[in-house]
Every structure is written in structure tokens, then in C-alpha cells.
Structure 1
Amino acid sequence: MHLTSMLFLMIGCLMSGGCAVLKLYNSMIEVIEWEILSLNSCTIIFTLIFDWISLLFLCFVLLISSSVLYYSGSYMMGDKNFNRFMYLVLMFVFSMAAMVLSPNMISILLGWDGLGLVSYALVIYYQNEKSANAGMLTVLSNRVGDVAILLSIGLMVKLGGWNFLYYSYNMSDGEWLMFKILIVLAAMTKSAQIPFSAWLPAAMAAPTPVSALVHSSTLVTAGVYLMIRFSPILDFSYAQSGLLIISCLTMFMAGLGANFEYDLKKIIALSTLSQLGVMLSILALGFANLAFFHLLSHALFKALLFMCAGVFIHSVGDYQDIRYMGCLVKFMPCSVIYMSICNFALCGFPFLAGFYSKDIILEVAFMSWVNLICMCMYVLAVGLTVSYTMRLIFYSMSGEFNLNMLMNAKDTSNLMVNSMLMLGLGAVVGGAGLSWLLFPEPYMICMSITMKSLTMMVSVIGGSIGYFCNLLNTNNSLISLGNYFWVVFMGSMWFMPFLSSVKNSDVIMKVGILMEKAGEKGWLESFGPQGLYWKLTQLFMGLNEIQMNSVKVFMKMFVLGMVIMLFLYI
């Protein structure tokens, strides 16, 4: 089944890629609409848009999905629910495709909710308590974004339609600021920006092929893609400034946390979080095309990075702690080559996929009117990225041999190794190809020699610190124990998992119970539907008595009228 699905997705990838190139150079946009329901002046329409952005992104989604499905044939071999897993992954891909091809808020909601539902089913795929808690945190965090989308749909009613492509250029802050905040909030929850970052490392409870798909081209990139579509409404908006600060903080926090993490999959997840901060920050500066460029190039090497991590985890006896690995370069040369390509592409090594997008993003950000705090966070995030990458290389591939003495780690599965070939080529030449395709005219970069060389200097310093500090084994020394609070603070994403789960949930539950007692079962009940029902019932009973022509009723009314007249006379 996985071979049939892979071939189907690969054919779709080739078709969408070819159409994307055609539409890019011909400036063509095709929109297909089906009217579902007409309500007063508003019509609910299912819409599909075929332009170069949607088709090119769909091409990458299908390419990575086909590689992941081929990889899953070996990784999930022997699983009792293998067919269920494959169907869930296909549902995940189709939900993302529905979201990518939708310029209409109603049809976007279908793909948006589909991603949330299927991601919950995949996170709890391994049925244990840890997976259940991670799935609940994931789905509840994403429900905040779903509610924001629903409220934004309600706000768009007064426009007479929900196709945001027609209205996004005429939305001022004075009238549409709340709508812009809701869209930014939805993107922040899906892309796990502060304060919704805790669910991204927790979602690593899902199988590794799912992580490769989620962190490269589907769930977490849905928020970035939504903001790219809504980028015209953010120009010179207060929501744009807030998004810039939050994304820079997320970028710095994720890079810092990855340097204190020992779980292989969580380190890669935090690197994804850092790169999402890079995409949203450059988008908040007004360069949506650069954000889209980095989104595509990052998808190639990040999917490959997770697939290499899955091979390592399988080979070392299902351990995810990097301290139980080491010296894998002597046992798994092919997988180590792919892993090294991904790591260097993530660091922005010259002429790999990440170099073309990250280098121009940093230079454009340094030339922009960005404040000093955001600029410092850009610089620190670059150094931290190289630092945790070199730390990962030291512990897993080039360090001391820490495996079980009876362990025989080697590249045994040809299926898993062959599935990484296409993405490996993409990680090497994908950035150059995309830069020629998306930017046929060069950017004019005018900077001083200090600013031009700042990125390279910070990268060299960060890489040296990340490798030699771990070579001296300072992480396990008494230095870490002496600064235990700060190590835990930085390694736990600034205590965000604790604030998002135990403590915060207790407060929310208590506030919810209080509001239910005082509101829904109290004043809101009395002055709401039940109270209105009781008052209307009494009124209709009185009117019914009057219509019965009862003498007692007329006598009561006569006496009441006489009393009122007497009171007014006195």
C-alpha cells in the first residue's frame, strides 16, 4: 500500500511542480468555486486557488510525503496497525493540501481542523500515558487557533464574503485590527510561537515518520503559510510589530533550549521552532517571499534530518538520548553523510539549501528598520543554531563510543536509506534551484564589511563553543549542578511546559468552575434563556386569561385602574 501511495503522491508532485513553474513565469492565477449555501447577502463557497505559491508548496508537500511513506514501509514494519498509520498519514497530507489550495476562510477551516484532528490521532498512536498527555496538550493548544479562525470568519461577515484575496488590501487598523490579531494568533498557535511553544516538543511522542512530515511541510508550517497569504494586511500594522517581537523571542528561546536538551528528536524539534521564528520574523518585516523561500528550503533538509534521526534511534536499540550514542560515523557512514548534510544546511553552510535562504534573510533583516533587541536576537540565534548542531554532531556521530557492547549499529535497511536519496539531493541543490526560480533578479545588498562578516563570525564562535565545551564535558560537571536553576530554566523553554500543563490547567479549571456556577448556572441563567422563557410564559398566561373574558379579570383590572387614578389625583 505504501508503494502505491508513494507513486500517487510523486505523480502529483511532478504535476504540481510543473504547473507552478508555468504559472510563476506567466503570472497566472486560476480560481475554482462551488457555491454550497447562500444566506442573505453572504454565500458559503468552497474555493480552490491554483497559483505559483499554492502549487509550488503543494509540490514540496507531496514530495516529502512520498519519501516519508516509502521510509515508513521499513520503519513501521511489524506494527500491528500499519494500515491505520498509513491512512492517517494520507489524511494528514490531504488536509494540508485542502488548506494550501484554499483562499476562502470557510474552506481553510476544513483543512485547518483536519490537521488538528489527525495530528492528535497520530501523537497518541503509541498508546501510553505520555503520548496521551502530549496529544491532549497538542490538540488543546491548537484549538485556540481554531477558535481564532472561527471568530475571524464571524468578523468577515460584514464584507459579504470570506475570500480574503479580494479584501486583504483594504483592511486598515482602525476597523480591522481585531481581525488581524486573530489571524496572527491562529498562526502563532499552529507554528508554536510563545506562549504556545510547549506542544511542539511534546508532539515528539508521535512516530518518527510523522515528526518528519509535521516539522517539514505540514502542521507547523500551516501557520507560516497562512501568514504568507495574509501578508498584505500586516503592512504598517500593530499586529506586525507584535509578531516580530514574539517570533524573535521564540527563535532565541528555542536555540537556547536546544543547547541543554539531550533527547535527539526534541533537539531537532527545537531547531524547527527556531526556524519558524526566523520565517515569521522576516515575514513581519514585510518580506513574505523570503519567508516562503526559507519555508521551502527548510522543508527539504528538516524532513531528512528526522529520517536520519529515526535510523539512528532504530540502530542503537530505540534510545533517543544522545548520550547513549557516539562514534556512529564508523558504523553507519551512509546515514551519517545524510545527517551531516542536513546539519550543515541548517547552519547555513555555503552552497547548501539553508545557505541561500538564511543568508539573504539575515542580510535583509540587518538592512531593515529593525530595533536593537530583535537584531541581537537574530545574531544570538545564529550562534546558538551552530552551537547545538555541533553539540549534536559531537555526541551522536563523532564522540566516544557509548553504545551497548553487544549493539551492532549499521545501515541495514536499504529501504530507509534509499528513501532519503531524493531529499538528500534537495538538501544539496534545492536552495540554489529555488533561488534561481523565485528570484531571477538579484537583490541589492549594501552593507558594511563588519555587518557582512557578522554572520560568519558568530557562526564560527557558536560552533567552537558548541563543540569544545562538550569536548571538555562541562555539561556533566559540577558547573551545571551549581547553576541548576538556570540550567533547568533555559533547558525547559523558560518553564513553558509547566505553565502550559499542570499549574495553568489548575487555575483555568478553577476559574472555569467559578464562571459556570456564577454565570451559566447563576445570573446568566436568570437573565438569559431560562429567565426569558419564564417571563414570557407568565406574560402569555396573563394574555390568555384576558382573552377568556373572565369577569374576575375585568374586576381586577377595574379596581387596579381606579387605584391608579386615585393615586394620581391625590
Structure 2
Amino acid sequence: MINLSICTISFVCLIFMSILSFFFGMIFIMEDYSVFIEWEVVSMNSMSIVMTLLLDWMSLIFMSFVLMISSLVIFYSKEYMESDYKINRFILLVLMFVASMMLLIISPNLISILLGWDGLGLVSYCLVIYFQNVKSYNAGMLTALSNRIGDVALLLAIAWMLNYGGWNYIFYLEIMNENFEMMLIGGLVVLAAMTKSAQIPFSSWLPAAMAAPTPVSALVHSSTLVTAGVYLLIRFNILLMNSFMGNLLLLLSGLTMFMAGLGANYEFDLKKIVALSTLSQLGLMMSILSMGFYKLAFFHLLTHALFKALLFMCAGAIIHNMNNSQDIRLMGSLSFMMPLTSSCFNVANLALCGMPFLAGFYSKDLILEIVSFSYINLFSFFLYFFSTGLTVCYSFRLVYYTMSGNSYFYSLNLLNDESWVMLKGMMGLLILSIFGGSMLSWLIFVTPMVIIIPIYLKMLTLVVCILGGLIGYLISNISLYFYNKAFNMYNFSYFLGSMWFMPYISTYGLINFSLVIGSLAVKSFDQGWSEYWGGQQLYKNLVKNSQLNQMLQNNNLKIYLLSFVIWIVILYLMMIYF
């Protein structure tokens, strides 16, 4: 009973704070109003330690979404994690995670951003290793070490900002493109954002983080951890205007989007497919952000949070019912056995594909039209549209494997839609996944934008989506009943399906290499030369000197003096004699 009350109290408090935050966000966006709060923590002589908070429409609306999704995730966890005796610890970890994200969202100061940033990293490690087994420990270590690169970059940016006499980056945004020092700080911030949002070459940790419980994945992959990097760059968006970093980020994020789309088409683990779709959408947000359209990136960030959380919740309900099996090849006919969950799953999938008038359509269609309208090279244009086609391709492949055909699970199974607590959590997000996109587009873009492009460019998005869905469905259909053509090109398929060998490079390559170098350094220096010339040598000298001292302090001094006198007399006599 105590467990249920903690879940319920957390749910009620978070949903109330979410509504309050959204209400204030609406007032701020209508009034074009921002609040900058400074709280002086300590003041000594001329030095003062100040905690600063920035509340504007962007931070308030994002906070509202994070709180709302986390409240529904906690409500959903009440049933999903009911067999866990330590559910209190799980809920507290999730709340710590949300608190770290809140600190990151409302901070205009790099020091307090680092507190939230490292809080996210630490708590995410604890959540990834929540199910304590070797696979989880490996995934947690990969996640933690990959994100440490970004943390170090942020620390270097903080150190460099000492030259300006303060860490409130919001005061220096206007001069960021003008001097080299600020460009360097910007480069470090971009590096930090790329590690947190898993862009190439730091992509391998994101599918590995699926070792965490599914409610955590729903929270992490929709609105918290992976979007922290995108949000930070939205705040630093001036840096990316017509700069080398913007062009580099456009290339890397486009390749991330393409790579994740290809990888998801070869994957059979349900959670990993959804994780790779998150990676693809993060690439889309980063690429449109690198072109300078930060409001569009923020808009897609919010709409994506809604349908991705729903997608993970549905995947969790399916896995929960299928006795913790995640292989989509064993699923089938779920639409007959779990109609309500399947309906939510399909709505989330269609929103991800950009089905007209669902949440994802308003942001994705606008992004692709802006890309068609912009001055952009052919390669980036190809990456945008081909990756969109791949998104629809793996979504329809997923629907084909899970919803149609025969179930290849146990003959006697208990697949049903009777998990009412989980379904209630999903229903809240279902409504938002349908109406959230249009609502946000009216709120964020108060002045209607007219994008006039030729009819073939206007229809290109629709054609790419239809072709992608058709190819995804047909390839899945053929590969089930006929000889799978992927086996003819096994090495190429393996390359595409394993995220271009990135997990192997980062684990067996970088991390393994750094650990080997570290162990050699410990053996050679810490336990070798520094011991020989340092601690051990000092110890030996002290022992030798203390033994001599001890010998002299014994009561045998008169014997030594007598023998010394005898030696002197003998030497004197010898000198006289010779």
C-alpha cells in the first residue's frame, strides 16, 4: 500500500506542477515576457556566489512537458514495476532524474547547467544498471564513459569562461560569433551536446541504454537525457549561424539520421528499434538546428516527446505481456489479442512517420518544407528525405511483424489488455499525440508562415513516405516467406545493422584501448617507478636510518668508543713504527 501511495503522490504533484508551468508558459509567450532571477547564496567581501534562474516561454513549456511525461511514466510504473520489491527506490531515482533535468532547463549559468548535466549522467547510470546483470553493467559503463567526454568538454568551457569574469552565458550570446575565444567555448558546448544527444561518433551508447527498465526508457528517450544536448544547443543557437561548427553539425547529424534509419531496418529487438528511431529523430532536430531554425527544432522536440513516450509505453506493455520477450519475430496478431494497446502503438507509429494531422506531421512536414525552401547542398537534401523514407520503412516493418501474421510465441499465452493502470497512462499520451502537434503549432508560431515551393517539392515528402512504407512492408513480407536476400550480402547487412560498427569501435576500440593504456600507466608509474623512487625508496631509507639510530641508542656506546680509541692507538703506533 505504501508503494502505491508514493507513486500516486508523485503523479499528482508532478501533474499539478506541469499544468502550472504550462499556464505560466502561455502567459509568457503571449506577453513576450521573461524572468531572470538571481539568488545570492554567499557574499564575502567583493566575492559573491549567485544562483541564477531563467524563466521564459521556452523553459516553462519544456518543463511542463517533462513533468507531464514523467508523471504519466510514474503512474505507468505502478503496474509495470509492481513485482519489484524496491519500487520506492525506483520512483526516487526517477524523481532525481526529473529534478536534474529541471535544473538544466532553467539555468542560464554553465555551473548550474553542469550540476544538472552530471546529475542526469549519474542517475542515468544508476537506472541503466537497475536490473543487476553483466549486460546492464556493460551498458551502464558504456553510457557513463561516453557521456564523460561531454562532461569534460563542459568543464573546459567553464574554465575558459573565467576570462569573461562570469559563467552566465546568456550575457555573451551576442558576441559569440565575433571573437575566437567564444567560438572555442561554443565548440566545446557543441561537443558536449553531441555526446549527450548521441550523434556520430558517440551513437553507440543510446541503444545500449535499453538495458534500463522500459518506463525509464520512455522518459529518457522522449523528453529528458537525450534531449538535454538539443536543448543546450537551442540556447546556444547563435553559435551555429553561418559557422564552421554549424556546417559540421549538419553533416554529422544528417549521417546520424541516415545511419539510425538503416540500422533500425535490420534490428529485431523491439526496444532497440524504438531507440534507433529516437536517434534518427535527434539527428533531424540537430540538423535543422544547425541550419539556424531553433524554434523548429524546439517544436519537433516537444511533439517527438509525446509520441515517443507513448511508443515506449506501448512497447513496454507488449513486452510485459509477452513474458519479457523483446524479439519482434515472435510477435504477431497482437491487434487481435491486445487491440487497445495496438491502437495506441499504431497511432504513435503513424505520428512518428508524419501522418497528416497527428503530432509528428506538424513539425516534420514543416521541417522538410523549410529544407526544400533553404539554400542547402544536394547531399544534405538527400540525407533529409531518404532518412524520412527509412523512418516510414522501419515503422511499417515493425507494424507488419507485430500486428499481422501468426503469433510465434507460446501456444498457451496470456496476451490481454487488462493492465488498466498502464492503459490509463497510455491514454493520456494518446490524446496528446493526436492533438498536441496542432495545439503547439498554434501557440509557438502565432504568425502563420506561408512556404511557397514548387508542387514536386511539396509532394516529395508524401511520395517518400508512401514509398518507404511500401518498401518496408514488402521486404518484411518477402523475407518471411521466401529466401532472405540479406544473407546474400551478409557482411554488408551486418555492417548496416550494427550501426556501422560503432559499438565495436567504441567498446573494443576506444574504451578498451583507454583501459589498457590506463592499466599500463598504473603498473609502470603508480606501482612502478614512482613507487621505486617515491614511497618505497623513502620507506627503505627511513628503515635503514632508524636501524642505525636504534643501534647507536643502545647502551653499547662505551664499547664502540673503546674500540674506536684502540683503533686510533693502533694507527698511531703503526705510523711511529713505519
Task: Assess same fold via TM > 0.5.
Answer: yes
Distance change in 2, residues 1:463/1:73 (3 Å): same
Given the alignment of the two structures, is residue 317 of structure 1 paired with residue 317 of structure 2, yes or no?
no
Partner of residue 209, structure 1: 215
Alignment pair present for 1:95 and 2:134: no
Q: Describe how 1:490-505 pairs up with structure 2 within 5 A.
A: 490-505=496-511
Change (3 A) 1:158 1:429: same
Equivalence for 1:190: 196
Partner of 1:66: 71
Q: Is the 8 A contact 1:474 1:480 kept in 2?
A: no
Q: 2:83 aligns with which of 67, 78, 83?
A: 78
Q: State the partner residue of 1:21.
A: 26
Asked whether 1:356 is paired with 2:362, we answer yes
Conserved in 1, the CA contact under 8 Å of 2:479 and 2:485? no
Please give the TM-score of this superposition, normalised by the length of structure 1.
0.89
Report the secondary structure of 2:499's partner residue.
coil
Over the matched positions of the two proteins, sequence identity in percent amounts to 53
Instruction: State the alpha-carbon separation in 2 of the partners of residues 486 and 292 from structure 1.
Output: 36
Shift of 1:155: 1.0
Aligned equivalents of 1:170 and 1:132: distance in 2? 44
Q: What is residue 46 of structure 1 aligned with on the other side?
A: 51
Q: Aligned pair 1:236/2:250, yes or no?
A: no
CA RMSD, Structure 1 to Structure 2 (Å) = 2.1
Q: Distance in 2 between matches of 1:477 and 1:218?
A: 42
Task: Specify the alignment match of 1:107 in structure 2.
Answer: 112
Q: State the partner residue of 1:166.
A: 171
Q: 1:177 to 1:287 in 2, by over 3 A?
A: same
Contact 2:207 2:275 in 1 (8 A): yes
Q: 1:70-107: CA deviations, max 9, x gaps?
A: 00000000201111001000101111011111111011
* Gapped regions of structure 2 (runs ≥ 5): 1-5, 532-578
Q: How many residues align?
A: 528
1:271-420 correspondence runs (5 A): 271-420=277-426
Do 2:70 and 2:219's aligned partners in 1 also have CA atoms closer than 8 Å?
yes
Task: Give the 3 Å change call, closer, same or farther, for CA 12–363 of structure 1 in structure 2.
Answer: same
Q: Aligned equivalents of 1:498 and 1:230: distance in 2?
A: 32
Per-residue CA deviation, residues 253-296 of structure 1 (Å, 9 max, x unaligned), is 00000000000000000000000000010000000000000000
Shift of 1:508: 2.2
Read off the aligned partner of 1:133 and give its amino acid letter: N
Q: How does 1:519-558 map to 2 (within 5 A)?
A: none
Distance (Å, rounded) in 2 between the aligned partners of 1:278 and 1:302: 14
1:441 aligns with 2:447: yes
8 Å CA contact 1:193, 1:246 repeated in 2? yes
8 Å contact 2:478–2:484 — kept in the other structure? Answer: no
CA distance in 1: counterparts of 2:110 and 2:228, whole angstroms:
14
CA drift at 1:504: 2.5
Q: Does 1:464 align with 2:485?
A: no
CA spacing shift, 1:173–1:468, aligned 2, 3 Å: farther
What secondary structure, in the 3-state scheme, does the structure 2 residue paired with 1:472 have? helix
Moved more, 474-483 or 511-520: 511-520
- Partner SS state of residue 175, structure 2: coil
- In 1, the alpha carbon distance for the partners of 2:145 and 2:162 equals 27
Partner SS state of residue 405, structure 1:
coil
Alignment TM-score, normalising by the size of structure 2? 0.88
Contact 1:41/1:160, CA 8 A, preserved across alignment: no
Q: Aligned equivalents of 1:400 and 1:38: distance in 2?
A: 70
Aligned to 1:455: 461
Corresponding residue for residue 261 of structure 1:
267
1:200 Cα shift?
0.3
Task: Give the 3 Å change call, closer, same or farther, for CA 173–262 of structure 1 in structure 2.
Answer: farther
Q: In structure 1, how many angstroms separate the alpha carbons of the residues matched to 2:167 and 2:487?
A: 55
Q: Does 1:427 align with 2:433?
A: yes
Secondary structure of the residue aligned to 1:45 is: strand
**Shift in alpha-carbon separation, 1:519–1:444, aligned structure 2, 3 A:** farther
Report the CA distance between 1:36 and its aligned residue.
3.9
Is the counterpart of residue 247 in structure 1 residue 253 in structure 2? yes
Segments of structure 1 that go 5 or more residues without pairing to the other structure are: 526-570
Q: CA deviation at 1:35?
A: 2.9
Residues 341 and 423 in structure 2, CA contact (< 8 A), matched pair in contact too? yes
Which moved further from structure 2: 398-407 or 109-118? Answer: 398-407
Paired with 1:407 and 1:352, the residues of 2 have a C-alpha distance of 33
